[in-house]
């Protein structure tokens, strides 16, 4: 057991990109789903209130689909639906592991397996130990699920948003291109702007900063990263005011 005190958080919102659920072979990979569930499980067992936002980039990103020759708003609608599919998969993986979970959509839907976003209902669900998966982003085109994550984190009164990353946090330069890139353990929002570092897209960044929402950028691929971080280990980057 670590002697470092656990972090003082009760409510977390975890944002996972759609790409995280995919492999080269599969758009949604069972092992990736289960890995996410196992990362979250210790914090859930700890009694933390957890909610999640999932992206849709494994299927479609509106801004990147110019070759389809469709307008951006239409493509974004498709992207938002992609997040619904991911959320359904993730919720089912949680349920399979004995943890109550359901996708809650920002896009109004009439669907047996998807619930419509409703703050009261979601609060009751998390208070009862469920993990809601927020899908459909903000419900509006021209936004991202990072922005959806910040909005939902604020609506849920989350203490912090965790952004699952493929790398260990925010670096002074791209660690996938530069071997000498250095991890920044604590990054002030003002410095992120000054250094032109982008832990979130601009709209999400502005909203988080304005509302004083801290963001922990963690490499979800690191075994037990969430539990170790929660127990106080110095992992990832904390972005805050
Ligand atoms: N999207 C949108 N509005 C939102 C959130 C998402 O229109 O509020 C669309 C947009 O086309 C986006 C796609 O859904 O590219 C998938 O979301 P995102 O790119 O954020 O997913 P991630 O990269 O996190 O997997």
pLDDT in tens, the chain (241 residues): 445 677 889 999 999 999 999 999 999 999 999 999 999 999 999 999 999 999 999 999 999 999 999 999 999 999 999 999 999 999 999 999 999 999 999 999 999 999 999 999 999 999 999 999 999 999 999 999 999 999 999 999 999 999 999 899 999 999 989 999 999 999 999 999 888 898 899 999 999 999 999 999 999 999 999 999 999 999 999 999 9
Spacing, Cα 37 to ligand 1 middle (Å): 22
Q: In ligand 1, which atom is closest to the CA atom of 19?
A: 25
The predicted pLDDT at position 218 comes to 97
Q: In ligand 1, which atom is closest to the CA atom of 54?
A: 24
Q: Indicate the top mutation candidate among 59, 62, 146 to test ligand 1's pocket, ranked by most ligand atoms within 8 A of CB.
A: 62
Spacing, Cα 74 to ligand 1 middle (Å): 12
- Entry pTM: 0.96
| Cβ-Cβ contacts under 8 Å for 160 (sequence gap 6 or more) | 9, 12, 13, 153, 213, 214, 215, 216
Q: Give backbone dihedrals phi and psi of 179, rounded to 5 degrees, phi first.
A: -65, -25
Spacing, Cα 125 to ligand 1 middle (Å): 25
The predicted pLDDT at position 162 comes to 98
Q: Indicate the top mutation candidate among 17, 36, 79 to test ligand 1's pocket, ranked by most ligand atoms within 8 A of CB.
A: 79
Interior/surface letters 75-84, b for 16+ CB within 10 angstroms, e for the rest: bbbbbbbbbb
Pocket of ligand 1 (CB under 6 A): 17-19, 55-57, 61-63, 75-76, 79-80, 82-83, 137-138, 140-141, 143-148
Q: In ligand 1, which atom is closest to the CA atom of 77?
A: 7
Q: What is the pLDDT of residues 93-134, one digit of tens each?
A: 999 999 999 999 999 999 999 999 999 999 999 999 999 999
- Match 């994550």 to its residue by tokens: 149
Q: In ligand 1, which atom is closest to the CA atom of 57?
A: 25
Question: What CATH number has the domain spanning 11-240?
Answer: 3.40.1160.10
For the chain, the farthest-separated pair of C-alpha atoms sits apart, in whole angstroms, at: 57
Q: In ligand 1, which atom is closest to the CA atom of 142?
A: 7
Q: Closest Cα to atom 23, ligand 1: which residue? A: 57
Taking the CA atoms of 97, 163, 118 and 156 in sequence, report the sign of the dihedral they define: positive
Q: Closest Cα to atom 12, ligand 1: which residue? A: 61
Q: Could you tell me which residues are beta bridge partners of residue 98?
A: none
Spacing, Cα 55 to ligand 1 middle (Å): 6
Phi-psi region of 237 (alpha: psi -120 to 50; beta: other; left: phi over 0): beta
């Amino acid at each position: 057991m670590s002697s470092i005190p656990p972090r003082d958080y009760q409510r977390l919102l975890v944002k996972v990109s759609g790409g995280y659920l995919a492999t080269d072979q599969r758009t949604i990979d069972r092992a990736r789903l289960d890995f996410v569930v196992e990362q979250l499980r210790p914090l859930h067992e700890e009694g933390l209130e957890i909610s999640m936002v999932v992206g849709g980039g494994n299927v479609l990103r509106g801004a990147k689909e110019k070759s389809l020759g469709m307008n951006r708003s239409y493509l974004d609608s498709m992207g938002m639906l992609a997040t619904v599919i991911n959320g359904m998969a993730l919720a089912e993986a949680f349920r399979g592991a004995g943890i109550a979970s359901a996708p809650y959509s920002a896009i109004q839907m009439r669907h047996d397996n998807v619930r419509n976003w409703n703050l009261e209902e979601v609060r009751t669900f998390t208070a009862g130990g469920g993990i809601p998966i927020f899908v459909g982003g903000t419900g509006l085109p021209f936004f991202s699920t990072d922005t959806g994550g910040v909005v939902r984190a604020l609506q849920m009164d989350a203490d912090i948003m965790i952004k699952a990353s493929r790398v260990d946090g925010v670096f002074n330069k791209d660690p996938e291109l530069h071997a000498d890139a250095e991890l920044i353990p604590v990054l002030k929002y003002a410095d992120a702007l000054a250094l032109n570092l982008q832990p979130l897209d601009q709209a999400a960044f502005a909203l988080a900063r304005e509302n004083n929402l801290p963001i922990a950028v963690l490499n979800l691929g690191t075994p037990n990263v969430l539990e170790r971080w929660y127990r106080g280990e110095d992992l990832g980057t904390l972005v805050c005011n």
